[in-house]
Amino acid sequence: MAAPSCNALGLWVRGSKQRLGSLFSLVSKPFCSVAAASGTMSAQRLAEKLRAQKQEQKTKKQPVPTSPVQRRVQELVRFTQQLQRVHPNVLAKALSRGIVHQDKDLVVINKPYGLPVHGGPGVQLCISDVLPILAKMLHGHKAEPLHLCHRLDKETTGVMVLAWEKEVAHQVQELFRTRQVAKKYWAITVHVPVPPAGVVDIPIIEKEVQGQQQHYKMALSPGYRMEDGKIVRARSNRNAHMAVTQYQVLSSTLSSALVELQPITGIKHQLRVHLSFGLDCPILGDHKYSDWTKLAPQKLSLGTLKKLGLHQAKARHIPLHLHAHQLILPALGSRKEELDLVCKPPRYFVCSLRRLDLQMPSQDQNGDDEAGRVRAQ
């Protein structure tokens, strides 16, 4: 199948729709209602009725916008909505196609964009909901549900580790807790970090943001502050958490960069906070941490918007460009070698790099939601 063109914002969703789109189109309310009411309806009559309803849906579709920008934005919005309405069986099938590694202890998937790991208010579907279905698809109907070993934010893509046994999951969780798992993330940033490589070692605390939209955000809680032109030690907050992030710029232009991030600690939204408030380089598509005082679409320069083919009014549809690129698990159980797990970034990420004139390491030039590799060291 030919790769999607990078000439449109639709590339942000087409990479995922290549794999999920045909499956999503099969799952809709009419399908559920027909399947429930069909009873003894023959397969042929059911198929005919489904085809008729599908054709009727096509005729009821809204006219396609003439503006290329509007058309690309509409595709992205439609994909995000479909992801929450898809049937659990369809989602489990899609996740099984994106498996990076599988053995008797672990299953490693490439987590798609926009899919939460856990349930919560307003969440219709999450990864934890489909783990029993995914296990049955891989090991038969008698298989026990898979177990989560760690979590990723809803908007973050990339390497996610699952375990067959609860005991193994606890062992992997302990490896994460004791910082024995090497993690590397890729992020496209607005602005370029200075210096191009270094360590951000600033504690993080959750704070309430006052204003028209009262809300909570993670914020920096530095140990030092400026006073009369001098650096003085600040009073430490007992609720602040130590947070350390190592970073390196892999490619940059005057206005953006591809940055590799290695979180030494694992505090909520650590990478986003350190980049935005510590280095003044928010992640592209981070509409929460690009501005401290309010929740609003990320403000982008005219040059960046032009390269992306967008107007500022549509910037709210830009997805978060943060990807869990690599995990290195130490030896565990009967496996005596460490496991190097790598997931290529999704196509929208790769095409944004191309549009922004950023270069990606040569071995990862072709982004793919299903692509990945594993190496035993």
Where helices occur in the chain by DSSP H, the ranges are 11-24, 29-38, 43-60, 68-85, 88-97, 127-139, 166-177, 270-273, 302-308, 347-355
Dihedral sign from CA coordinates of 145, 151, 157, 163: negative
The reply to whether 153 belongs to the active site is yes
Residue 251, classified by CB atoms within 10 Å of its CB into exposed (0-12), middle (13-18) or buried (19+), is middle
* Pairing label, strands 197-201, 147-148: unpaired
| Active-site residue (options: 103, 105, 129, 153) | 153
Phi, then psi, of 217 in degrees rounded to 5:
-140, 155
Residues sharing a CB contact under 8 Å with residue 265, sequence separation 6 or more, in sequence order: 179, 241, 242, 243, 244, 245
Distances (CA, A) of 63 to 58, 70, 196, 250, 366: 10, 12, 47, 42, 33
Please say whether the beta carbons of 187 and 283 come within 8 A: yes
Residue 377 CA to residue 190 CA, distance in Å, equals: 35
Q: Which residues are catalytic?
A: 153
